[in-house]
Amino acid sequence: MALTIETYSNIEGGNSFYKAISHPHTAQKMSNLIGHLKEAGSVAIYDPLNVYSGFAEFYNLSEINITDAFVRDTKKIGSYLAGCRAKPITDLPHSSPNTLFISTFDSRKFKEQIKHLIASNLEIVSFDDCRLEDSLLTNKSRYLDNQNFATNFAFFRDEGGARTRLSTANYWSGYGAKKVEMNLTLFGEDGSVLADWRQPLNDGDTGVIIDSREIRNKFSLSDFIGQLFIHVTGIAGHDIVKYALDTWDSSVPELSCTHDANAWPSDLYAGLPAPQEGEQVCLWVQNSHPNPIPSGQIGINLMGDDKIIKVNKSIPGFGTEKLMVNKLLPEASWPQQIEVQAGKYFVRPRYEITSPTNTRRIAHVNVERNDLKVDPEIPRIGQQMGKGYILPAPILPIKDWTSSLLPSPMATCQNKLSIVALIYDASGQEIIRYSFGKLNRNHQTVLEINDCVKSEDLLPVDYGHVELTYDFTNEGDTDGWLHGIFRYKNLKSNHIADTSFGAHIYNTLLTYRNEPQSYNGPPPGLSTRLFLRLGHSPHDTICHLIYPASTPWHPRSETFLTLVAPNGSKIAREKIQIPCGGSIYLQYHSLFTSEQREKAGDGAYIIVRDSTCRLFGYHGLLAENGAFSLDHMFGF
């Protein structure tokens, strides 16, 4: 059964209580609290904020002798809580427990409110005994402030020639943050702590690199596969930890990348591609909680098929398990897709595909929503919102790459997707409109974009982009959560990269359901600030920027690309203009001179800034032998 705790609300955002009780640094404190309650004799629960049930989802409380449960919400009176019928807190004087457990943090005010009801010999305990140390708190006066739990997980590996490299920047400084610090914990495959350290970030727009090989050497570690837990303090503006993650192997032509994990565990994930002939697909399940995932609680199934193949193995707290899709679902083959029954046990997981040439590529699945319903307003707003929701992706230069698109059902209400792919050249001219018709959940329809643009007259500058949108001419399931898998193949090396994303509304003044999204403040978001990480030598960095517009917007972008050294100093700046509805393909080595690149040094990055429109970007690395990586960029 899935955990019933709410980890994330699409209205209120992240549930900081969930993060507070599952934080790695509080696991021992939680164990001590439970041990104390076991020895306390009779225990009464007071649950003023209705969070006790979430606590019980994560920890075994069966040996605590709970004799009474109290609430203050009159609607909760008479409901079951901790195995008891909940009573109003005003009945506390009629109870005689040894200990009262107030199931909140910052419990002082709750204790003050009921002090006239508390017997003189009654022991009071609360979650305050399990607080993080003050050095890990940004807002010490309000423990469950989301800024105290700016956390995330990263897949992290270093074995043989294989290594990982996390890249980000101190983007909190742009919102006034000072003395930002990363608190890092590296977990091994079995969930044990391999290393624990702190990394202060210099004030300003400084770059951040965490390299697995450097960490391995620093802590004298042997080969490892696990996950890196990141907790950032001193932040402002954003409580989301974003990063790009490169993986490569120096012993084979392997090069790939992914990005931040979306730090809120979900019931379901989707968009896991089945293997092509000769491929091996693995799903990296990395437990996000201190307690084990019980055997049989997670599984996978073919999209559109109710038969779930369960994982009959326990996964330790913060441990890592490699699930081989080929063994669990031997009948699955591309372009079938696979659904992940995650039960809120782990954040958005990565998958890796090993090709017949023994090179690997990494990508991630996406959150499959089970709280959405078909929204009939989306087709109705077409006149005001134009194309409405757009999912943009590159068409890489067709002389060097092939580009493919596979629409992905990403909500349980999506049974008939009526969608269309709009193919544009770099100037924003629509050249092809491809209708998918109505796609079932179990569809296997791939659009091979190169086959659509074989004529040089159709794509005169060799590249462009594709937009996946709803087809309002056909009735279908529209909910705003439109996703797709995009697959790219290098014609020189046969190297492949996968990336996936969801649709948004772009570049219109009208707003609908928090769209166009804004990173800071209410919608509409009509500007761009993207992070472009730069690769390690000798690789070049590629960047594909797209200017999607739901309704006509400014004719051309006013986009600046600023090269920033690791210490935050600005080395050089270039201006580009992208036609509305168009795109541009760039390479770092062509954009900036060798002198500028040398001055910037290793660990430099580029900020893509535009105050006139919202762009969407993809980035990757390119090796001389044709190995490459590709994923979408993050903004802030």
pLDDT single digits (tens) 463-479: 999 999 999 988 899 99
**Same domain, residue pair 150 and 231:** yes
Neighbouring residues of 38: CB distance < 8 A, sequence distance ≥ 6: 63, 64, 65
pLDDT of 253: 87
Round to whole Å and give the CA distance between 126 and 128.
5
Query: Per the domain annotation, does 2 fall within a domain?
Result: no
**How buried is 280 (Cβ within 10 angstroms: 0-12 exposed, 13-18 middle, 19+ buried)?**
middle
Closest listed residue to residue 288, CA positions, set 13, 31, 23, 61: 23
Q: What is the pLDDT of residues 183-204, one digit of tens each?
A: 999 999 999 999 999 999 999 9
Q: What sign results for the dihedral spanned by CA atoms 587, 589, 590, 591?
A: positive
**Same domain, residue pair 191 and 61:** no
Name the DSSP letter for residue 274. P
**Same domain, residue pair 525 and 617:** yes
Lowest-pLDDT range, 287-296, 315-324, 349-358, 423-432? Answer: 349-358
CB 187 within 8 A of CB 215: no
**Same domain, residue pair 341 and 243:** no
- At which of 67, 102, 134 does a domain end? 134
- pLDDT reading at 93 higher than 80: yes
- pLDDT reading at 458 higher than 80: no
pLDDT of 368: 97
Q: What is the pLDDT of residues 549-599, one digit of tens each?
A: 999 999 999 999 999 999 999 999 999 999 999 999 999 999 999 999 999
- pLDDT reading at 297 higher than 90: yes
pLDDT of 6: 77
What does the pLDDT average to over 254-262? 93
- At which of 342, 368, 394 does a domain end? 368
> pLDDT-derived band of residue 456, with 50, 70 and 90 as boundaries?
low
**Same domain, residue pair 236 and 288:** no
- At which of 111, 134, 157 does a domain end? 134
**Same domain, residue pair 206 and 165:** yes
Query: Per the domain annotation, does 226 fall within a domain?
Result: yes
pLDDT greater at residue 600 or residue 356: 600
> pLDDT-derived band of residue 180, with 50, 70 and 90 as boundaries?
very high
pLDDT of 9: 53
pLDDT of 11: 46
Query: Per the domain annotation, does 223 fall within a domain?
Result: yes
The CATH code of the domain that includes 292 is: 2.60.290
What does the pLDDT average to over 507-516? 95
pTM for the predicted model, two decimal places: 0.95
pLDDT of 521: 84
**Same domain, residue pair 230 and 283:** no
> pLDDT-derived band of residue 520, with 50, 70 and 90 as boundaries?
confident
Q: What sign results for the dihedral spanned by CA atoms 41, 45, 51, 52?
A: positive
**Same domain, residue pair 333 and 227:** no
Query: Per the domain annotation, does 68 fall within a domain?
Result: yes
Query: Per the domain annotation, does 120 fall within a domain?
Result: yes
Query: Per the domain annotation, does 430 fall within a domain?
Result: yes
The CATH code of the domain that includes 86 is: 3.40.50.720
Query: Per the domain annotation, does 139 fall within a domain?
Result: no
- pLDDT reading at 1 higher than 70: no
Instruction: Give me the domain span that covers residue 299.
Output: 268-368
- Please report where in the chains the tokens 């996000």 appear, as a residue: 288
Query: Per the domain annotation, does 438 fall within a domain?
Result: yes
Q: What sign results for the dihedral spanned by CA atoms 68, 69, 74, 77?
A: negative
Residue 387 CA, distance from chain mean position? 26
pLDDT of 52: 94
pLDDT of 519: 82
**Same domain, residue pair 621 and 566:** yes
> pLDDT-derived band of residue 326, with 50, 70 and 90 as boundaries?
very high
CB 363 within 8 A of CB 474: no
CA dist 432 → 385, 461, 468, 549, 582 (Å): 21, 15, 12, 17, 14
pLDDT of 3: 81
- pLDDT reading at 248 higher than 80: yes
**Same domain, residue pair 111 and 149:** no
- pLDDT reading at 380 higher than 90: no
**Same domain, residue pair 391 and 463:** yes
The mean predicted confidence, pLDDT, of the chain is 94
- Please report where in the chains the tokens 């009801």 appear, as a residue: 117
Round to whole Å and give the CA distance between 43 and 68.
7
Lowest-pLDDT range, 132-141, 260-269, 454-463, 520-529? Answer: 454-463
The CATH code of the domain that includes 574 is: 2.60.290.11
> pLDDT-derived band of residue 602, with 50, 70 and 90 as boundaries?
very high
Round to whole Å and give the CA distance between 367 and 92.
43
CB 456 within 8 A of CB 615: no
- pLDDT reading at 267 higher than 60: yes
**Same domain, residue pair 58 and 156:** no
Count of domains observed in the chain: 4
